Amino acid sequence: MNFFSREATVAKPGFNRWLVPPAAIAVHMCIGEVYGFSVFNVPLTEAGAGWTIPQVGWIYSIALFMLGLSAAAFGKWVERSGPRKTMVMSAVCFCGGLLISALGVKLKLLWLIYLGYGVTGGIGLGLGYISPVSTLIKWFPDRPGMATGMAIMGFGGGALIGAPLGVKLMEYFKSATSVGVAEAFIAMAGLYAVSMLFGALIVRVPAEGWKPEGWEPKEHAKPMITKANVAVDVAWKTPQFWCLWVVLCMNVSAGIGILGQASKMCSDMFGVSALVGGGFAGLLSIFNMGGRFVWSSVSDYTGRKTVYCIYFLLGALLYCAVPWTQSTQNKALFVAATAVIITMYGGGFATIPAYLRDMFGTYQVGAIHGRLITAWSVAALLGPSLVNYISTAQIDSGVPAAEAYNSTMYLMAGLLMVGLVANLLVRPVDAKYHRNESLKP
Amino acid sequence: MKRVVVILVWVLIFVPLAWGVYHSVQKSLPLFQGQAEPPSPSRPRS
């Protein structure tokens, strides 16, 4: 047994479980920085290497692609190794990636930044994203939605911190010979390493058979919450896994389509300045973060299937209302509708681990979550491409810029209807897929 | 004592989050203060 092993993190009697969510948030609010990476795009093009915006845009895309890939590939290792080792590895990869990228900026080698922030950092993102999920679910069997909501809220908050932090650090380090990007990367690597290692230090797993004081599992089991366990290699062969994959993919595609274009959309639809459009994007980020905690906590009371039905039905209704807010130039209603849509986008991310736990049990829920994250990678390509392609095609065909997003909104509502069908098809997992508990080590 | 440690850890986590929220709120203020300019002029349909 060493300091990093799962055994070393088993909590002693009397340990306060409320120390575990901050450990998860400490990691998630660092890796969530990836959402704010765009603040480095323009300064990177001014670094004197002749890089273009499309070229530097690949850094973010590679990182998100590697997030999905590593979460899927290393899920079983994460379950075996425990949260501390995984969080440390995540810190090494993510912060190491920032350091490699700083070297890439200094040497003016773009491939080194792809390798650093994109590949190495992306692996850190994947490990860090899934590492606390199964730990939190085990600590909060009475409130799994709230528990995962807290961690994944941290990821949303990471963008709120990362973007202004990056800007302030670049301003501080900017000189006649440097745009300040490399120095900002180094400083961020140091700050994030401290936070992530702090999380790794305080994280604990509950002892075998532990349950919250005064809490007893309900005698009459709910049909949509299993008491059995399904292994990851079996889970992904079940129809439930693929229904949930579609659920996540559609929910994220619809939300990311708005979030990625928020500033330009607001400017085009309401004729406001870029500054106001940027303010709108900032406001949506706050709702994205808050929705993760609020909706996921609500799902503990309503059940996961019901809450996803709300996301899809209410979301579709609001998407259909957006063109009306534009035609009546009702900016307040537009902001309110899109804010609620974005809370449900965040809520979809945060509720999915608890949904997986309900379907497949706690045995390898982190690894199953890792494989489901591939839906996010697909959605990250699908959502923004749809919005960009359709709105550009509309403008090119002579539709006024202010109305060019209307078709996109109806399409997003359609995507949510596909998600609704997939959600309604989710049934309890057939007993033939359940793990034989007598084989348990 | 244990409760104090828990509160301290939560405060440590909330400080950077609150800083991020503060910046986003500040950034979003023009949305509520700014006057809307007329929407982009319609382009003739081809």
How many whole angstroms separate alpha carbon A318 and alpha carbon A323? 10
B38 shares contact with chain A (CB less than 8 Å): yes
Residue pLDDT, tens place only, A297-344: 999 999 999 999 999 999 999 999 999 998 888 888 999 999 999 999
pLDDT, residue A281, reads 83
How many whole angstroms separate alpha carbon A307 and alpha carbon A184? 41
- Count chain A–chain B contacts defined by CB atoms under 8 A: 114
End-to-end CA distance of chain B: 74
Residues from chain B contacting residue A195 (CB–CB below 8 Å): 16
Residue B26's SS3 state is helix
Q: CB–CB of B27 and A279 under 8 A?
A: yes
Band the pLDDT of A1: cuts 50, 70, 90: low
- Nearest CB among B31, B37, B46 relative to A397 is that of B46
Q: CB–CB of A401 and B9 under 8 A?
A: no
Band the pLDDT of B27: cuts 50, 70, 90: confident
Q: CB–CB of A272 and B44 under 8 A?
A: no
- Nearest CB among B30, B37, B46 relative to A279 is that of B30
Q: CB–CB of A400 and B40 under 8 A?
A: yes
Residue pLDDT, tens place only, A369-420: 999 999 988 887 777 777 778 878 888 888 887 788 888 889 899 999 999 9
Query: A353: distance to nearest CA of chain B, Å?
Result: 22
Q: A11: which 2 tokens?
A: 């909590």
CA atoms lying within 13 Å on the CB side of residue A35: 24
How many whole angstroms separate alpha carbon A239 and alpha carbon A329? 44
How many whole angstroms separate alpha carbon A362 and alpha carbon A38? 36
> Shortest CA distance to A337 belongs to which of A348, A313, A321, A316?
A321
Number of helices followed by number of strands (H, E) in chain B: 1, 0
Residue A67 backbone phi and psi in degrees, to 5? -60, -50
Residue A273 backbone phi and psi in degrees, to 5? -70, 165
Lowest mean pLDDT among A49-58, A181-190, A245-254, A314-323: A49-58
> Shortest CA distance to A312 belongs to which of A349, A359, A345?
A345
Contact A105, A189 (CB under 8 A): no
- Nearest CB among B25, B27, B40 relative to A268 is that of B40
- The residue of B15, B24, B35 whose CB has the most chain A CBs within 10 angstroms, and thus the best one to mutate to test that interface, is B24
Spatial CB neighbours of B45, under 8 Å, sequence gap ≥ 6: A397, A398, A399
Q: CB–CB of B45 and A286 under 8 A?
A: no
pLDDT, residue A219, reads 67
Interface ipTM: 0.84
How many whole angstroms separate alpha carbon A92 and alpha carbon A112? 17
- Nearest CB among A157, A335, A397 relative to B17 is that of A157
> Shortest CA distance to A340 belongs to which of A303, A288, A418, A305?
A288
Is residue B39's pLDDT more than 60? no
Helices (H), A328-405: 331-360, 365-372, 374-396
How many whole angstroms separate alpha carbon A389 and alpha carbon B3? 53
Spatial CB neighbours of A21, under 8 Å, sequence gap ≥ 6: A136, A147, A150, A151
Residues from chain A contacting residue B12 (CB–CB below 8 Å): 22, 198
How many whole angstroms separate alpha carbon A88 and alpha carbon A124? 9
User: What global pTM score does this model have?
Assistant: 0.88
Q: CB–CB of A271 and B40 under 8 A?
A: yes
Residue pLDDT, tens place only, A184-236: 999 999 999 999 999 999 999 999 888 888 888 776 667 788 888 899 999 99
What residues of A are in the B interface, CB distance below 8 Å? 14, 16, 18-19, 22, 25-26, 29, 154, 157, 159-161, 163-164, 195, 198, 202, 266, 268-273, 275-276, 278-280, 282-283, 285-286, 289, 329, 331, 335, 395, 397-402
Residues from chain B contacting residue A398 (CB–CB below 8 Å): 43-46
Please, what sign has the CA dihedral across residues A317, A322, A328, A331?
positive
- Nearest CB among B3, B9, B40 relative to A402 is that of B40
Contact A179, A43 (CB under 8 A): yes
Task: Taking residues A114-121, report their average pLDDT.
Answer: 96
Residues from chain B contacting residue A262 (CB–CB below 8 Å): none
> Shortest CA distance to B8 belongs to which of A357, A169, A198?
A198
Query: What residues pair up with A10 in beta bridges, in sequence order?
Result: A205
pLDDT, residue B45, reads 37
- The H or E element containing residue A213 is none
Pick the residue from chain A with its C-alpha nearest to B15. Answer: A161
Lowest mean pLDDT among A16-25, A103-112, A129-138, A409-418: A129-138
How many whole angstroms separate alpha carbon A309 and alpha carbon A307? 5
How many whole angstroms separate alpha carbon A141 and alpha carbon A427? 21
Q: What is the mean pLDDT of chain A?
A: 90
- Nearest CB among B5, B17, B29 relative to A161 is that of B17
Q: CB–CB of A161 and B16 under 8 A?
A: yes
How many whole angstroms separate alpha carbon A196 and alpha carbon A186? 15
